[in-house]
Structure 1
């Protein structure tokens, strides 16, 4: 294999640029040509390719977002769209592809692999909701963004003696809420994987209030529901003044942490190694700080699970 492509797809995540950099430089180190695909799978169908050089990825390791941009494409989900992408790649002489993104991106990689284009997936999503890897690129940065925001909200919560509900991202996964909640000492953590009774949340708030606690912080994963609805329920059930903060897309941006930069560099390089060894339809990941790879088809069948012991610990420490 002498010529490969790299694209980013789905929601952006801090560290994607570091992964792109690793793919490009690892490939060039092994005398391969690399083409960056602009705008994800849409760019693949449009033939929006750009030859990448060492300088193309200079000074990007610290930048959030993705220099290759990202776009969602309904057309690519069709067989015709996928064949169009294959035709464009063959026309450009691109023999393999590194796809950086989440589970939706990996479904696209799986389809291309089935049509004869070797693809390797690199997990890049702040949600940390991909099976087969302990962490995904962007999760650690997003986690630290949430912690910083909650620490600031706590100052206001203390000053006004209020209960604050912080709604965070994560789609149907609760990792961001769980890790952030444990990190900031939240009174309650509401995640899709663990359905706490509302009465238990209220009891915990009341216990804290009776012992003189001036404020409370509740972390809510967006997959559970609306923070405003939960806040309304709490105010109707207790005498506690409640405010809601939805952090939104601020969680996706920013300079990646050292952990995300290192993880992205290792996974990007590992993806190129797999292509060099004629592997395809695989996803690289990290388990116990060791780089691993699994069949994308198997990964898509599996469900990511939260650390239940960590969730239990958060409850024990918030008594």
Structure 2
């Protein structure tokens, strides 16, 4: 293999730049030319492709977001769009592709591999919702962003003796809310994977009041519902003042943590190794601190199971 491409797709995540850097420099170390594909699959179809050199990825390991930009493309979901992308790659003699992104990005990589173009998926998403890996690139940074915000919210919640309902990202996966809940000592955590009895939330707040506690933090993953709705329900059930904070896209930004930089570097380098070995249709990941790879189709068909023992732990520690 003499030429490979790299793109980022879907939602950005801190550490994507570190992965782009690792792919580029690992490939150049093996005398393989690297081409950056800008604006994800849409840019692939449009031919927004530029050759990357060592200096092209200098001073980006510490930057959030993605140097290659990102976008979503409905056209690429079609056979015509995928064929258009392959033709652009063939024009430049690119023989393999590294796709950094989440579930939707991996589905595109699978389609290209099925059409004879080898792709390797690198999991980059703050939701930590990809099977086959313990952690995804960006999760640790986003988690620390949430924890920092909740710590600050608790300061004002304590000062004004109020209940704050904090909404975090996680449409189908509650890892951000769950890990942040344990880390920041939230009184209740609501995640998509576990049904929470609203009466139990109210009972927890009441128990806190009975022992003299006048503030609470409730973390809600967006997939469960709106923080505004839960705030109104609590206000109505307890006749108390509540406040809402929706962290939104602040969770995607910021300089990646050391964990995310190292994870991105390890996974990006492994993706290049697999292409050198002539493999495609694989996804790289980290399990028990070991870099692994899986068939991308098996990953997409699998259902990721969250660490629900942590959910129980959060309830036990927030009595």
TM-score (norm 2): 0.99
1:11 alignment counterpart: 11
Q: Secondary structure at the match of 1:262?
A: helix
In the alignment, the residues of structure 2 paired with residue 102 and residue 197 of structure 1 have an alpha-carbon distance, to the nearest angstrom, of: 31
Q: 1:214 offset after TM fit, Å? A: 2.1
2:28 alignment counterpart: 28
Moved more, 65-74 or 236-245: 236-245
2:181 alignment counterpart: 181
2:155 alignment counterpart: 155
Are residue 224 (structure 1) and residue 192 (structure 2) matched? no
How many equivalent residue pairs?
A: 319
Q: Secondary structure at the match of 2:171?
A: coil
In the alignment, the residues of structure 1 paired with residue 118 and residue 172 of structure 2 have an alpha-carbon distance, to the nearest angstrom, of: 30
Could you report, residue by residue, the CA deviation over 1:221-267 in whole angstroms, capped at 9, with x for unpaired residues?
Answer: 00000000000000100032111100000000000000000000000
Q: Secondary structure at the match of 1:152?
A: helix
In the alignment, the residues of structure 1 paired with residue 92 and residue 199 of structure 2 have an alpha-carbon distance, to the nearest angstrom, of: 61
Q: 1:304 offset after TM fit, Å? A: 1.3
2:146 alignment counterpart: 146
Asked whether the equivalents of residues 133 and 287 of structure 2 are also in contact (C-alpha less than 8 Å), the reply is: yes
Asked whether the equivalents of residues 186 and 216 of structure 2 are also in contact (C-alpha less than 8 Å), the reply is: yes
Q: 1:295 offset after TM fit, Å? A: 0.5
1:243 alignment counterpart: 243
Q: 1:196 offset after TM fit, Å? A: 1.0
Structure 2, unpaired ranges of 5+ = none
1:202 alignment counterpart: 202
Q: Residues 264-283 of structure 1: matches in 2 within 5 Å? A: 264-283=264-283
1:71 alignment counterpart: 71
Q: Secondary structure at the match of 1:150?
A: helix
Q: Secondary structure at the match of 2:128?
A: coil
Could you report, residue by residue, the CA deviation over 1:36-68 in whole angstroms, capped at 9, with x for unpaired residues?
Answer: 000000111111111000000000000000000
Q: Secondary structure at the match of 2:71?
A: coil
2:62 alignment counterpart: 62
Asked whether the equivalents of residues 138 and 260 of structure 2 are also in contact (C-alpha less than 8 Å), the reply is: yes
Could you report, residue by residue, the CA deviation over 1:58-90 in whole angstroms, capped at 9, with x for unpaired residues?
Answer: 000000000000011111111100000011111
Runs of 4+ residues deviating >3 angstroms: none
In the alignment, the residues of structure 1 paired with residue 190 and residue 149 of structure 2 have an alpha-carbon distance, to the nearest angstrom, of: 18
Are residue 126 (structure 1) and residue 94 (structure 2) matched? no
In the alignment, the residues of structure 2 paired with residue 155 and residue 127 of structure 1 have an alpha-carbon distance, to the nearest angstrom, of: 26
In the alignment, the residues of structure 2 paired with residue 31 and residue 174 of structure 1 have an alpha-carbon distance, to the nearest angstrom, of: 42
Asked whether the equivalents of residues 166 and 218 of structure 2 are also in contact (C-alpha less than 8 Å), the reply is: yes
In the alignment, the residues of structure 2 paired with residue 73 and residue 52 of structure 1 have an alpha-carbon distance, to the nearest angstrom, of: 24
In the alignment, the residues of structure 1 paired with residue 171 and residue 61 of structure 2 have an alpha-carbon distance, to the nearest angstrom, of: 27
Could you report, residue by residue, the CA deviation over 1:90-146 in whole angstroms, capped at 9, with x for unpaired residues?
Answer: 111000000000000000000000111100000000000000000000000000000
1:317 alignment counterpart: 317
Asked whether the equivalents of residues 171 and 224 of structure 2 are also in contact (C-alpha less than 8 Å), the reply is: no
TM-score (norm 1): 0.99
In the alignment, the residues of structure 2 paired with residue 171 and residue 139 of structure 1 have an alpha-carbon distance, to the nearest angstrom, of: 14
Provide the aligned C-alpha RMSD in A. Answer: 0.5
Moved more, 30-39 or 234-243: 234-243
In the alignment, the residues of structure 2 paired with residue 248 and residue 167 of structure 1 have an alpha-carbon distance, to the nearest angstrom, of: 8
